[in-house]
Amino acid sequence: MKETLQQDFFTIIQDRGAVKQFDSSVKMTQAEIAKLIEYASTAPSSWNLQHWKFLVIHDDEAKKKLLPIAYRQQQVIDASATIAVLGDFEANKNAEAVYGPAVAAGAMTEEVKERLLANIEQTYATVPHAPRDEAIRNASLAAMQLMLAAKAMGYDTCPMGGFDAQQLVSVFGIPQRYLPILLIAVGKAAQPARPSSRFPADQIIVWNQF
Ligand X SMILES: Cc1cc2nc3c(=O)[nH]c(=O)nc-3n(C[C@H](O)[C@H](O)[C@H](O)COP(=O)(O)O)c2cc1C
Strand ranges in the chain using DSSP code E only, listed in sequence order: 52-57, 81-88, 156-160, 178-187
Other Cβ atoms less than 10 A from the Cβ of 88: the count is 23
When asked if residue 77 is in the footprint of ligand X (CB under 6 A), the reply is no
3-state secondary structure 120-164: HHHHHHHCCCHHHHHHHHHHHHHHHHHHHHHHHCCCEEEEECCCC
Q: Of 182, 184, 186, 189, which one interacts with ligand X (CB under 6 A)?
A: 182
**Closer CB to ligand X, 20 or 53, in the complex:** 20
Binding string, residues 145-174; x marks residues near ligand X by CB under 6 A: -------------xxxxx------------
Q: Of 18, 67, 141, 190, which one interacts with ligand X (CB under 6 A)?
A: 18
What number of H helices and E strands is found in the chain? 10, 4
- The site for ligand X, by CB under 6 A, has a size of 12
Q: Of 22, 52, 56, 73, which one interacts with ligand X (CB under 6 A)?
A: 73
Residue type, 174: I
State in angstroms the smallest separation of the CB of 17 from ligand X: 3
**Closer CB to ligand X, 95 or 142, in the complex:** 142
